[in-house]
Amino acid sequence: MTQNSHIRIGSYDVYLLSGDHLKWDGGSVFGIIPRSAWAQKLPPDDRNRVTLGVNQLLVKGPDFLALVDTGVGTRLTERQREVRGAGHPRPWAERLAPLGLTPADVTHVIFTHLHTDHAGGATVFSDDRQEVLPAFPRAAFLVQEGEWQDACAPPDGEANAYRFADFLPLLESGRLVRLRGNQRPLPGVFLQVTGGHTRHHQMVRITDGQDVLFFPGDICPTPFHLGLSWKTSYDQFPLETLAARRNLLGKALGQDVLVVFSHDPRPAFRRLTGSLEHPTTVACDAPA
Ligand SMILES: [Zn+2]
C-alpha cells in the first residue's frame, strides 16, 4: 500500500493495491529503446533486470467489491519465482485486512488478461495443498472469451506466459464469466477490448460520469511506456498496443483524468501531462 493508495470516484472508493515486484530483463521491458536511454529512467541491477511493480485496483461500490487483476499470487515455487523474477506477495487475507475486508468480501474479479502476473493471484492452494482453489470464494471471475480461449490453447510464443492452474479452477468453480467485447459489467465499471498485448486484452475505466480513472493494463505497463516509441518486447500485436496507447493519451493527456499503471515501479494515481511526443506523469498526492 502506498501513501496515496485511495481515492474516490463519485460514490466509489478505489484502492491501489501494490506491495509486490517483478525483476525483468530491461532489454525485454523496453524493446527497441537503447539501454543508455531506459537505464536513466529505471536503473538495471547487475543482471540487467529492472524492478517493476505488480499493481491491482480494488473498486468498492454500493453493492459490489471488484478486484482488477490479481498479481502473481502465492503458489509459485522458489525456483519458479527465480525464473520469473517474481517476489513474494502476501496472501490476500493479509493484503485486504488493513481495509477491513476479507477475500470473501470480493464479489467480482476482472482480468485485463490471463498472463501469470495478472491471473496467478486468483487461485490458492487448499490447506492440505492437494487442490488449487479460487482465492475469492464468492467472486465471479470476468475475462474476455477470446482471452480465455487463447490462455487455454496459447498461440505460438505464449506458452510460458500462461499457467493453466491460474485459471482452470475458476471454470470448475462455476463462477467464470466469459465476456464478448466491450462491456459495463458493473455500474461505473467499463471494459474496453484493446488487443495488442494479447489478442483480447482489455483495459478498465472507472467513472461516475464525471471523474474518470483508467487502468490500461499492459498496453502501457509503466509511465515510462507512454511514449509511442517505448514498446516492450512482450506484445503479441505491437501496432494494436500503440493504437490503444494513442487512444489512452487522447483521452487522458492534459485532462483531469487519473491513470494507474499495472507495472508502475512507484505505484500511484497519476495524471498525464506533457505532449504526445513527450508524455509524462505527475503523481496525484491529494485524495481526489
Ligand atoms: Zn503484466
Q: What is the pLDDT of residues 99-140, one digit of tens each?
A: 999 999 999 999 999 999 999 999 999 999 999 999 999 999
**How confident is the model at residue 285, as a pLDDT?**
63
**How confident is the model at residue 157, as a pLDDT?**
85
> Average pLDDT for residues 21-34, to the nearest whole number?
95
List CB contacts of 167: < 8 A, sequence separation 6 or more. Answer: 114, 119, 122, 123, 141, 143, 148, 151
**How confident is the model at residue 19, as a pLDDT?**
82
Residue 263 alpha carbon to ligand 1 centre in Å: 7
Residue 175 alpha carbon to ligand 1 centre in Å: 24
> Average pLDDT for residues 156-183, to the nearest whole number?
95
Q: Is the pLDDT of residue 171 over 90?
A: yes
> Average pLDDT for residues 166-181, to the nearest whole number?
97
Question: Helix or strand or coil: residue 190?
Answer: strand
Give residue limits of the domains in the chain: 6-283
Residue 254 alpha carbon to ligand 1 centre in Å: 26
- Residue that wins the pLDDT comparison between 288 and 11: 11
Residue 120 alpha carbon to ligand 1 centre in Å: 11
- Residue that wins the pLDDT comparison between 2 and 130: 130
Handedness of CA 102, 108, 112, 113 (dihedral sign): positive
Residue 188 alpha carbon to ligand 1 centre in Å: 24
Residue 103 alpha carbon to ligand 1 centre in Å: 22
Pairing of strands 123-125, 270-274: unpaired
Give the pLDDT confidence of 38-74 residue by residue, as tens digits.
999 999 999 999 999 999 999 999 999 999 999 999 9
Give the pLDDT confidence of 181-208 residue by residue, as tens digits.
999 999 999 999 999 999 999 999 999 9
Which of 3.60.15.10, 3.30.70.1380, 2.160.10.10, 3.40.50.1820 is the CATH number of 6-283? 3.60.15.10
Report how far Cα 19 is from the mean position of its chain's Cα atoms. Answer: 13
Residue 221 alpha carbon to ligand 1 centre in Å: 7
Residue 174 alpha carbon to ligand 1 centre in Å: 26
Give the pLDDT confidence of 221-256 residue by residue, as tens digits.
999 999 998 989 999 999 999 999 999 999 999 999
Residue 119 alpha carbon to ligand 1 centre in Å: 9
Q: What share of the chain is helix, strand, coil (3-state, %, to 5)?
A: 25, 30, 45
List CB contacts of 78: < 8 A, sequence separation 6 or more. Answer: none
Residue 115 alpha carbon to ligand 1 centre in Å: 7
Report how far residue 73's alpha carbon sits from residue 132's, in angstroms, rounded to the nearest whole number: 12
**How confident is the model at residue 284, as a pLDDT?**
87
Q: Is the pLDDT of residue 2 over 60?
A: no
Report how far residue 29's alpha carbon sits from residue 49's, in angstroms, rounded to the nearest whole number: 9
Residue 262 alpha carbon to ligand 1 centre in Å: 7
